[in-house]
Structures are given as C-alpha cells and as structure tokens.
Chains A and B, each alone.
Chain A
Amino acid sequence: MNLPMSWLSDYMDIDVTPKEYSDKLTMTGSKVEGYENMGENVENVVAGKVLTCEDHPDSDHLHVCTVDAGTGEVLQIVCGAPNVKEGIIVPVALVGAKLPGGIKIKKGKLRGVESYGMLCSHDELGITEDMLGYEPEYGILILPEDTEIGTDIKDLFGMNETVVEFEITSNRPDCFSIIGLARETAASFNKKFTIPEVKFTENDENIADTISVEVQDKDKCKRYCARMVKNVKIGPSPSWMQERLRACGVRPINNIVDITNYVLLEYGQPMHAFDLRDLQDKKIIVRRASEGEVIKTLDEQDRELTADDLVIADGKRAVAIAGVMGGFNSEVKEDTTTVIFESATFDGASVRLTAQRVGLRTESSSRYEKGLDYNNTVPAVERACQLVEQLGCGENVGGMIDVMGNVKDMETLPFRPEKINAFLGTDIPTEEMVKYFDALGIKTDLENMTVTPPSFRPDLEGEADIAEEVARFYGYDKIPVTLLSGEATCGKKTERQQMQDEVNELLNAQGMYEIYTYTFTSPSIFDKLNIPSDSNLRNVVKISNPLGEDTSVMRTTTIASMLDILARNYNYRNASARLYEVGKIFIPSEKEGELPSEPVKITMGMYGDKVDFYDIKGICESLFANLHVENVKYEAVTNNSTFHPGRCAKISVGGKVLGIIGEIHPAVGRKFGIETPVYIGELDFENIFLNINTDVKFKELPKYPAVTRDIAMLVDKNVPVAEIEEIIKKASGKMIESVQLFDVYEGEQIPEGKKSVAYSAVYRASDRSLTGEEVQKVFDKVVKNLENQLGAQLR
C-alpha cells in the first residue's frame, strides 16, 4: 500500500520528515518498506514555449529552436526530437538543471550551434506512462496548451510528493486505505484525527423509482449499497486527483472511474460504477453464478464461473464478478450519462476463492478477501457522490438503496488492565491504555471494565489482541527485558539426538563430509536404480501439487539422493569424495488418511582415492564399534540389482537388519553419470539405536600372558572367511581372546580353486598363565574342525 504523505494533511496537522515518519510507523506495527520522492532527481526543469523552430544548417535531423521558458530571455536550444515544432509547450531543462541518472545540463555546442538547455521527453524526466495516463508520441513531451510558461515540471506532475510504501499484514484490512493509515499515523504521533464531513446535494428524485436491488445470498453479500448519478459528463478528472491516483500506482482513466478508485484508496472500500443503460430490466440481483456461466470481464477476457461464485446480475445476465471485476457489458463509456455506484461488502473467503479460480487478483479482491467492514459502504458511496458534485461531472439522484445481509456485530471484551500488564510484563497506567484505545476508535466502558472494538477492526477478538494494541502504542522497545523465572527445567538432548551427534563425530573423524539433500525426488529414480517393478520401494507418498515431476514424490530410499550428489562432485572434477547424510525416508501408511512413517537413514557414499568395498565396510565397523553395537553380521547379497552382485552385503544384528553396503552396479553408476566405482551404504538409524549396548562395563586389564598361535590353511576359494573365523572361535571356547586374519593369497603355488588363508589366534586366561599343553589341546580341536567342516588343508 502506497501513501502519498501530503494526503495525511486532509485528516490532521502533521509535519515530520519521511525518515521520522517511517521509523515511527514501523515501530507501531505498520512496516514501512521504503519511501521515495519522485522529483528528487529533477531540478530546474520548467514549461517553455517553442517560439521558432528551424532545421540545423549542418545536420539532417537536428533543429535549432528559440524557447521562452519564463526566464526573461529567449533561449536558443538545439533539439533532435522529430516532433518538435513551433508553438508547442514542452519541458525545458535549463542550464544547470538535474535529470534522473545524475545528468547535469550544461551550455554546449551541437555541430557548431550553441545550445542553452534541453527539451525533454517524459522518459528523460522519469515520468511514466501511468503518471501521464496516456501513451505519448515518440519524441519530446508535449504539454497542454494552457500550461503556464515557467511552471516547475514537478508541480505539473505532482513530483514533489513523497510516497511511503507500507507492508500491510493480512489482519489489518483497514490499513489498506489512506484513512486507515492516517488513523494509525495520528495514534502513533499523538495527533488529533478527523475525517472531514461528507456533504452533497441530492435532487428530488429517488433511485428506488429507477432500479431495484435484490440480494439472494445474504451470507456471501453482507451489505449492498447503491446510489445513482445522472447527467454524467465523462471526461478527465482534475490534476490533483490524477496526481494522488498516480502516486498510489493507479492509472487515471476518466472522472467516474477515477472517483471509484479514489474512494477505494481513501476509504479502502472497493466501488464499481455501472452504466444504467446496460442494466437490463433495471434490476440488480446479487446471486450465485450458474455452473459454467461465462462473463466477459473489463479486461475483455471470458471467465467461466461455478455455482460457488457470487455475481452481480441484472434481470438477464451477470454484469460483474462480485468483489473481483466488473463486466465488459456494463462498463462506463465515453457516452455514459447515468451511472449506478455500487458500494458493497462481500464475504472475504468467497471472493478469495473466486479470484483464485478465475485467476484474477485485483485491487478490489485483495481488499475483500481480508474481510471488509460493512459499516464502511455508506460513507464510501457518499464520498463518491460528494466527489461527483465537487468535480461537477454529474447530478446526484436522491436516496440510496441499502440492503443488509447477514452480519455480526463486534463483541464487547473484558478490559482487565492488570491482566494486560501481567501478560506484557509492564506497569502501564489504565488511563494511558484508554488513551490508546480512543485514538484507535476502541470504545472503553470503565464502569463495566469492557472495551468494544470498532467494526473496521475484526482482528480484535480477545484480550490478547487488546494487549497487543496497548503494547504497540506503549512501544515494544519500552517493554522491559527479563529472564524466565519459575520452575527450573533441565535442558538436554534425547538419547537418539545424542546418537546423532556421535554418528556425526565418528563419520567426520573417518573423513566423511556431511551433506543435505532434498527429501522429495522423481518417480523415475526407481528405474534409474534398477529397482524391480514389484518392489515395495515404489510405493511412495505423492505430492498432489508438486513443483515438477522430478520433485513429485517423497523418497523411499536415500541412495539416489547420494548418487546425485556424488555425480555432481564427479562432474565438478572433484577427484574423490566421501560423503554422508543423516536424513529421512517416507514410507506410506497402510491405513488410508494416516501419516507415513519417517525412518531416518544414515547414508554413506564414496568414490575415488582407490577406495574399495573394504573402506566402506571399515567405516561401518568402526562406527558400530564406537557406538557399542556388537555381534554385527555381514552377509553377501547377490540379488540387489542396485549393487554389484559380488560386492554387496547385508548388515544385521540378531536378525535385525541394520542396512546394506556395497559397490553400486556399474550400469546404475553410468545412469547417474559416474564412470568410476562408487560405494554406498544405507543404514537404519533406529535399528542401530536399538542395538546399542548401553551397559558398557570395564573389563579388568589382563594380568597373565597370552599365547599366540598362527594357522595357515588352504580352503576352497568361495569359502567366506567369516566362516573360518566362526569355526576357530567356536572350537577355541572361552580361552580365545581374538582371531585376526593376516593373509589371504591366491595364485602361484596355490592349487586352482583354492586360496590360502592365515590367522593369528590369541589365547588367554584371566586367572592363570596358560600352559603349552592346554593351548595345544584347544588348537588341535580347531585344526580338526577346520579340516572336517571346510576340508581345510593345513600348510
């Protein structure tokens, strides 16, 4: 909402700088986005008359003019505009003038002819077509013939005005008006605020004899007021009105339309003017549109409506979409002689939905949708009549049609100053509060200790709202600063949150960088990941109004997100990457209408630096060891089509799956644009958390020496070493302290289909030194079991 500062003086005496004004209003809740003085960069430009105009002797497009600019002497000015001619009045930038863009006018010579100034186009002065109200011809700006020579151009176009731009919050529809902002201004600066009395004369006819108004939907139309003006003379509105409209960003059109727009700005009440000739049967009916009814709006677009949309209709057809835009069929034209002014209150939600449906957001609809005051319709339409009289553009017909719909009166609220002070932490005297209320139009009843907000403040519904009004005008900055008192609380993280911190630390320590990725993705990722068509992962939570196909479903796997980021780094030629993410996936609920579950996944991804499967496995092992997740099992997975069939493992503890790790199938990697081996792990946060051994106890340091036995054997190539380890441990009983694989070898001197595996087994007892025989006995059993169970040959 734009406010030309000079408009404020219609309602109060005020003299502050734009800066003071903006700071104050911002701190009382009307946020100022900025202010602008349009004429700031224009100086010494006046209206001047071209006395003579001759061709430049040395140019085919320049002209040499003599100009009277009211300076007392005739100026010679060279001008290149094609439309310059004798007798016209134009803007003249005198020597020493300033123009927008930091241009300064100096005396100069153009092709040998001296020039004392410049004739200007509208562009050169920063005057927009909106400010002019028409599209000027190419060249210099030609001013009206009756323009007084020597007049400052800024006065002609209202460019001395400072316009303040406000950000108005949705709860304050009243502030989408000059009067509303003026009321806030007066309250902020403690000034007396008066709306000038609206007076006009009516003829002795009555509108009701000409036309009738019927409101069929009294919920959607809360009030409908109509007044009539006859003997209308359509023409331009006066310059003072045009300037104010322009300053607010509204383009002047003609006197009647300008009056409706002026009232819209001043009172915040949208108005419409119908040409009486076009209202068939001389009826106005406020009704629901019929399903599929089409109306051509003022912008000459056909709009199809539904039965939920409210229209203004005559006896035959719709003539306006209520609160949104008038119809093309009944607009005010050059030859209009009688108009009907509409000043009505429509239901905000209904206007909002209609405006959305037809894709039209107008000055009118944006005000209605916030909820307007039904008590504002009469003052607004009367103000329009007053302006008609003031402009002399028509004759006000007597009487007003006023049809009420279903409205609610403002509720009276309890006024408890002590409660307000307790709530704010302040000590504001009651009479101070009452002063603020008076300025805002809130009625105070000190006998019953109640307050009644005015009908233009539907946002004041309860005591907290009243407290905010007190706080705003007392000053948020004056409210003291205190620390929380009351019962002490212990700040802490939950155990899961602590585990998340630990995971971060442990992965960082292993060279992994944390990443953040989008949680929605494309449905095409499943094919990209080679996920079978019947996989559960394809059952996704879908967004019904996504930004695009590639962000239209919530992910059920984090692997694609990780691959996208790895691919990006690969394309950026980052030679290697080790990344991880702690993020959610979304699994649809089996029950209709229930929220999906949102399990957290720890996803790791790496390429480059000669990493292989055992790097990512090592990271997992170290993660589990540090978190005290014990007895972790890794089993080969050969049928997960996202992964390399021979380099993928499922991780589990006691049957609970902790996740999957492996090398990404090269075909999948290529689809993501990565031409190097990629290793990915996707771990389940919750299952890891549930398997943490929280009961870690100190084990006595060993007092007795250990006995180490090495064993090397030949086994079939495809025997997993985990099996060998298992057999050694099992056969060794409780004497075994550790089993360490130290060599695996295939090739020369090893028979085809076999591999050589070597282990170091450490035996120890906590209560004595083990004897050689004791260990040998156990070790013999180990060897026997390996031979029997795996066909191992000892080397």
Chain B
Amino acid sequence: MKQKLEEIKKNALAVLENAVDIETLEEARIKFLGKKGELTAVLKGMGQLTKEERPVIGALANEIRSTIENHIDTKKAEISQKLEEMKLKSEVIDVTMPGRAQKTGKLHPLTKVMNNIKNTFIGMGFEIAEGPEVEYDYYNFEALNIPPNHPARDTQDTFYITDNIVLRTQTSPIQVRVMEKTKPPIRVIAPGRVYRSDAVDATHSPVFHQIEGLVVDKGVTMADLKGTLEMFIHRLYGEDTKVRFRPHHFPFTEPSAEVDISCFSCGGKGCSVCKGEGWIEILGCGMVHPKVLANCGIDPEIYSGFAFGIGLERIAMGKYDINDLRLFFENDLRFLDQF
C-alpha cells in the first residue's frame, strides 16, 4: 500500500510538472485527490491494514495529499502569472497616440489675471469693493477733485448719459463710495469695467478694466505706498523685477506717481516692447488728496492714505504677449483656449 501511495505521488507530481494550463491542474486534482480519485481509492483499502500500519499509512497518505495540493497551488500560481503576462503582452497599446479630450472650459485670460491680482491683495488684508458702471458725474469727477471744466476731463473722453450721469471713466469713484460708507482703517481694491470714448484699434477700446486700490488709516505714508506696491509687483512679476516710482500728476492724489517696472521682455536693456527705455509703465498711484478725503468726510489732519489704479488689459497683454486688445472682446475659441 505504501508503494501504491508513493506511486500516486510520483505520478501526480509528474503530471503537475508538465501541466501548462489551469484545466490540467483541475483534472489532476480530481484524478488524484477527488472523491473518486486514486488516493481515495487507495485509502478505501485501509481497513485491511494492521492496527500498527494504519497510522503510519494514514500519516503518509495525508502527507502525500498535502504535497500534491501544495504542488497544485504553486503550479496554479505559476500558470496564472504566466497567463497574465501573456495577456498583458497582447494588450500593448501605442501610448504616443493622442489622448481622448475630457471637456472642460476655461476662464477668460482677463479673469485669470484679475484673480491673481485679487488674491495677492487679499493676502495683504484687502477687501474687494464694487460700484456702479453708470455713475454720477459727482463720484467720477467732482469728488475726485476734478471740477467741471478741469483740463483733466479733456484726457478722459467721457460717455454721457445725462449732464450729471456718465459711464464711469475710471474705477476711482469706488474710492469715494467706500470712504463715504466706511470708517478707516480702509484697505480695498475695486476691480471693474470702465468706459472711454476711444475708437477701437489694437491698443484702444471704449471698454476696458481697471483695478483701483485704496488704503486709509492713521499715519499711512508714501513709504507705505511704495512698500505695498513693490510687494504686489514682486508677487506678480517676480522678485527680481525692478520698480521705479516716477513723479506724475493726477487730480485726486498728491504727491502722485507713475510706476514703471524693468521691462519683462529685455530685463531693462531696451527693446521694442519697452521702446528702448528699459522700463514699462504699469500703474498710477499717489497719496489721496486731502480734498478728496475731506469730500468724503474723512479728516485729512488725522488720516492719510494712498490709492492706485492698474489697467488690467495692459497687465494681461504683457503677461501673455498679446499684441491686440481687440482679441479680449472677440472671444474666438482658438484664443480663449490658449490660457
């Protein structure tokens, strides 16, 4: 009997050794270990054995069973792995073929730049203020120290609705509205759409966007103005950007300045982008004129502040190398898809 068992083991292991698929393994399991299998058949003759032989043969039978089972499992794992490898081999694809587009849309480039600017100022403790686009002459001009017949009105070709209602020519009227409603400390930016009666061409549009900034508090200095705007410019254009504050004139700030940055195209050496100057003008700013503070009910003897105005299109054109302002309002998908 022992011999028979050994033979089963030998035969089984030989079959398993040569097996190349799962079916053969299963057949082998049934043939050798199944209820009607060879091992069972042998064990059915156990009754004829002596009392002493029985446990020995029993143990041997169990050992052979588990040996065969182990072999089946090992072989099964081996074959499965091989099969999987073969399958994977047959599934090779060309990964250089184009991907299948998943439809998502995009923000307009002006919104992208605007968001960037908003986030920078929010990080510096600014809130975002808004105001009407159809605005009283008072807020757009008079309260900003631009009385009727002031020459500064010449440079801002204004669309009029009535004698005292205009399409705002700047976001500065929001300054006045904020100061009328809010007590210092004030730190706001006011982005928005503005209108000037300019015919459309590559660098002019009757509709464009500005971002106004206003800070009013006790003891705000021109040095603070420089620090705040330098920080903003470094966030937007990089830490290496040089910043130049150049005296200028605006009716609603005194002292006033225009701010130039070292040309982002040539780094300041002079090129066609900066017209050889090495500098590019990006915004206007200044200390809020005491008359403007007083017009809004804020005592200029106690409080001081600064304001600035940034042209959004100009910043976006510089950032993305866009050479024609009209593209922003044409909304050709081939344009919108690039940002």
Q: Which residues of A contact B (CB under 8 A)?
A: 26-29, 31, 169-172, 348-349, 352-353, 369-370, 422-426, 462-465, 467-468, 471-472, 476-477, 479-494, 497, 501, 504, 507-520, 541-547, 551, 554, 565, 568-569, 572, 574, 577-580, 584, 586, 593, 595-596, 598
Beta-carbon nearest neighbor of B155 in chain A:
A170
Q: A370-B151, A425-B223, A513-B337 are in contact. List 8 more A-B contacts (CB 8 A).
A: A170-B155, A485-B219, A491-B122, A515-B331, A541-B134, A542-B161, A595-B136, A598-B132
Taking a contact as CB atoms under 8 Å apart, the answer to whether A484 and B228 are in contact is yes
**B193: chain A residues within 8 A (beta carbon):** 519, 584
CA of A584 to CA of B193, assembled, Å? 10
Taking a contact as CB atoms under 8 Å apart, the answer to whether A481 and B304 are in contact is no
**A598: chain B residues within 8 A (beta carbon):** 132-134
Q: A509-B104, A595-B165 are in contact. Are A463 and B159 (CB under 8 A)?
A: no
Q: Which residues of B contact A (CB under 8 A)?
A: 103-108, 110-111, 115, 118, 121-128, 132-136, 149, 151-152, 154-155, 159-162, 164-165, 167, 185, 187, 193, 195, 197, 199, 206-207, 215, 217-224, 226-228, 230-231, 244-249, 251, 254-258, 287, 289-291, 304, 328-334, 336-337
Q: A595-B136, A598-B133 are in contact. Are A169 and B122 (CB under 8 A)?
A: no
User: Can you list 14 A-B pairs with a CB-CB distance of less than 8 A?
Assistant: A171-B251, A424-B221, A425-B221, A472-B255, A481-B226, A485-B219, A485-B224, A501-B115, A508-B104, A514-B105, A514-B111, A520-B195, A544-B160, A545-B160
- The 6 A-B pairs with the shortest beta carbon distances in the complex, nearest first, are A425-B223, A425-B221, A29-B247, A468-B255, A511-B103, A169-B249
Shortest C-beta distance, B29 to chain A (Å), equals 39
Taking a contact as CB atoms under 8 Å apart, the answer to whether B246 and A31 are in contact is yes
Beta-carbon nearest neighbor of A552 in chain B:
B159
Taking a contact as CB atoms under 8 Å apart, the answer to whether A513 and B106 are in contact is yes
**B122: chain A residues within 8 A (beta carbon):** 491-493
Beta-carbon nearest neighbor of A506 in chain B:
B105
**B246: chain A residues within 8 A (beta carbon):** 26-27, 29, 31, 476
Q: A483-B228, A485-B219 are in contact. Are A514 and B185 (CB under 8 A)?
A: no
**B187: chain A residues within 8 A (beta carbon):** 484, 489, 491
CA of A586 to CA of B195, assembled, Å? 15
**B160: chain A residues within 8 A (beta carbon):** 543-545
Q: A489-B125, A568-B332 are in contact. Are A425 and B222 (CB under 8 A)?
A: yes
B134 is contacted by which of A423, A426, A508, A586 (Cβ under 8 Å)?
A: A586
Taking a contact as CB atoms under 8 Å apart, the answer to whether B217 and A486 are in contact is yes
CA of A169 to CA of B132, assembled, Å? 29
Shortest C-beta distance, B201 to chain A (Å), equals 12
Shortest C-beta distance, A234 to chain B (Å), equals 36
Beta-carbon nearest neighbor of A426 in chain B:
B223
Taking a contact as CB atoms under 8 Å apart, the answer to whether B105 and A471 are in contact is no
**A568: chain B residues within 8 A (beta carbon):** 330-332
B256 is contacted by which of A349, A468, A512 (Cβ under 8 Å)?
A: A468
Taking a contact as CB atoms under 8 Å apart, the answer to whether B164 and A463 are in contact is no
CA of A494 to CA of B118, assembled, Å? 12
Beta-carbon nearest neighbor of B120 in chain A:
A491
**A586: chain B residues within 8 A (beta carbon):** 133-134
Taking a contact as CB atoms under 8 Å apart, the answer to whether A423 and B221 are in contact is yes
CA of A291 to CA of B320, assembled, Å? 56
A465 is contacted by which of B151, B162, B226, B254 (Cβ under 8 Å)?
A: B254
Shortest C-beta distance, A468 to chain B (Å), equals 3
Shortest C-beta distance, B298 to chain A (Å), equals 14
Shortest C-beta distance, B179 to chain A (Å), equals 15
A504 is contacted by which of B111, B133, B224 (Cβ under 8 Å)?
A: B111
Taking a contact as CB atoms under 8 Å apart, the answer to whether B125 and A482 are in contact is no
CA of A520 to CA of B206, assembled, Å? 10
Q: A31-B248, A424-B221, A544-B160 are in contact. Are A481 and B227 (CB under 8 A)?
A: yes
Taking a contact as CB atoms under 8 Å apart, the answer to whether A172 and B245 are in contact is no
Taking a contact as CB atoms under 8 Å apart, the answer to whether A547 and B199 are in contact is yes
Q: A483-B228, A490-B125, A543-B160 are in contact. Are A513 and B336 (CB under 8 A)?
A: yes
Taking a contact as CB atoms under 8 Å apart, the answer to whether B220 and A480 are in contact is no
Taking a contact as CB atoms under 8 Å apart, the answer to whether A554 and B134 are in contact is yes
Beta-carbon nearest neighbor of B222 in chain A:
A424
Q: Name, among B108, B155, B187, B333, the residue most crowded by chain A CB atoms within 10 Å (CB to CB).
A: B333
B223 is contacted by which of A479, A514, A574 (Cβ under 8 Å)?
A: A479
Shortest C-beta distance, A511 to chain B (Å), equals 4
Taking a contact as CB atoms under 8 Å apart, the answer to whether B162 and A519 are in contact is no
**B333: chain A residues within 8 A (beta carbon):** 513, 569, 572, 574, 577, 579
Shortest C-beta distance, B267 to chain A (Å), equals 18
Taking a contact as CB atoms under 8 Å apart, the answer to whether A477 and B245 are in contact is yes
Taking a contact as CB atoms under 8 Å apart, the answer to whether B134 and A569 are in contact is no
Taking a contact as CB atoms under 8 Å apart, the answer to whether B134 and A491 are in contact is no
CA of A554 to CA of B77, assembled, Å? 76
Taking a contact as CB atoms under 8 Å apart, the answer to whether A480 and B223 are in contact is yes
Shortest C-beta distance, B224 to chain A (Å), equals 5
Taking a contact as CB atoms under 8 Å apart, the answer to whether A476 and B247 are in contact is yes
**A493: chain B residues within 8 A (beta carbon):** 118, 122, 127-128
CA of A565 to CA of B128, assembled, Å? 29
Shortest C-beta distance, A262 to chain B (Å), equals 25
CA of A425 to CA of B334, assembled, Å? 49
CA of A512 to CA of B219, assembled, Å? 47
CA of A790 to CA of B330, assembled, Å? 50
Shortest C-beta distance, B332 to chain A (Å), equals 6
Taking a contact as CB atoms under 8 Å apart, the answer to whether B255 and A464 are in contact is yes
Taking a contact as CB atoms under 8 Å apart, the answer to whether B255 and A471 are in contact is yes
Q: A486-B185, A486-B218, A546-B159 are in contact. Are A170 and B151 (CB under 8 A)?
A: yes
Q: Name, among B115, B149, B161, the residue most crowded by chain A CB atoms within 10 Å (CB to CB).
A: B161
Taking a contact as CB atoms under 8 Å apart, the answer to whether B125 and A510 are in contact is no
Shortest C-beta distance, B221 to chain A (Å), equals 3
Q: A425-B224, A545-B159, A595-B135 are in contact. Are A517 and B331 (CB under 8 A)?
A: yes
CA of A479 to CA of B255, assembled, Å? 12
**A348: chain B residues within 8 A (beta carbon):** 151
Taking a contact as CB atoms under 8 Å apart, the answer to whether A510 and B105 are in contact is yes
Shortest C-beta distance, B173 to chain A (Å), equals 11
A489 is contacted by which of B104, B127, B331, B334 (Cβ under 8 Å)?
A: B127
CA of A584 to CA of B304, assembled, Å? 34
Taking a contact as CB atoms under 8 Å apart, the answer to whether B149 and A353 are in contact is yes
Beta-carbon nearest neighbor of A169 in chain B:
B249
**B251: chain A residues within 8 A (beta carbon):** 171
Taking a contact as CB atoms under 8 Å apart, the answer to whether B289 and A464 are in contact is yes
CA of A517 to CA of B209, assembled, Å? 12
Taking a contact as CB atoms under 8 Å apart, the answer to whether A513 and B220 are in contact is no
**B159: chain A residues within 8 A (beta carbon):** 543-546
CA of A491 to CA of B304, assembled, Å? 20
Q: A493-B128, A545-B159 are in contact. Are A170 and B249 (CB under 8 A)?
A: yes
Shortest C-beta distance, A795 to chain B (Å), equals 37
CA of A486 to CA of B224, assembled, Å? 11
**B228: chain A residues within 8 A (beta carbon):** 483-484
CA of A541 to CA of B159, assembled, Å? 12
CA of A489 to CA of B219, assembled, Å? 15
**A577: chain B residues within 8 A (beta carbon):** 333
Taking a contact as CB atoms under 8 Å apart, the answer to whether A28 and B221 are in contact is no
Beta-carbon nearest neighbor of B160 in chain A:
A544
Shortest C-beta distance, B213 to chain A (Å), equals 12
Q: A422-B221, A543-B167, A577-B333 are in contact. Are A483 and B128 (CB under 8 A)?
A: no
Taking a contact as CB atoms under 8 Å apart, the answer to whether B197 and A507 are in contact is no
Shortest C-beta distance, B99 to chain A (Å), equals 16
Taking a contact as CB atoms under 8 Å apart, the answer to whether B127 and A492 are in contact is yes
Shortest C-beta distance, A264 to chain B (Å), equals 19
Taking a contact as CB atoms under 8 Å apart, the answer to whether B329 and A516 are in contact is yes
A596 is contacted by which of B106, B134, B231 (Cβ under 8 Å)?
A: B134
**A551: chain B residues within 8 A (beta carbon):** 206
Shortest C-beta distance, B280 to chain A (Å), equals 14
CA of A492 to CA of B124, assembled, Å? 10
Beta-carbon nearest neighbor of B290 in chain A:
A464
Q: Name, among A464, A501, A510, A568, the residue most crowded by chain B CB atoms within 10 Å (CB to CB).
A: A464
Taking a contact as CB atoms under 8 Å apart, the answer to whether A484 and B224 are in contact is yes
B185 is contacted by which of A352, A487, A543 (Cβ under 8 Å)?
A: A487
